[in-house]
Structure 1
């Protein structure tokens, strides 16, 4: 019986990527640093800056507009979801752009699907906020 290769093993191979060998607080510390770097990279994108600027206004408003913790969670969560999906879309676009600048139908498809995900998140957010505003002010 043979021993499993590193590809099948649960243990990371530190010779391939020394970052994978970190554990405990060191892993958490470095992961936080990578996350902050990701937010900084996202901030360089105009769409993310626009959405983050809206979030700076909408997140505090969600505490005022929501009448229960569930409503606050839906309002704030829909805003955060837009930011998360925008970052994922930017990651997809960045990875596709790294592959090469030439036009490819699969690259276009991946970018279009990422864009569609952002659109759906924005529509969800707008719907949640419209419903909350209607509930609060529409039939008063």
Structure 2
């Protein structure tokens, strides 16, 4: 068991160290991402973006960033693919005792949670008070 954990740890560290770092990049009023050398990797098309977050799981390393597209928030991966569609009024990333979770709120004020430990997508949103 310990040997398996050590192998996964070193694979994760190696993968993390070899990953390119993407930074927010602005062209006029739109945001995208470039590498550290200024080469555009995700074309500017968002109203705002955040830096990429990293979440380690036993199987993989997940990187994602929050983007604002016409007043709606979503998450993208480092290739620009939507992880959570930009349809939420609010997205908050929580690093609590149960791991990293994403809390979402839709236009009707209902909340849901996307948990990166169990990879649950918020299908049923809980009614807010």
TM-score, length-scaled by structure 2: 0.26
Question: Radius of gyration: which is bigger?
Answer: 1
Higher helix residue share: 1
TM-score by length of 1: 0.25
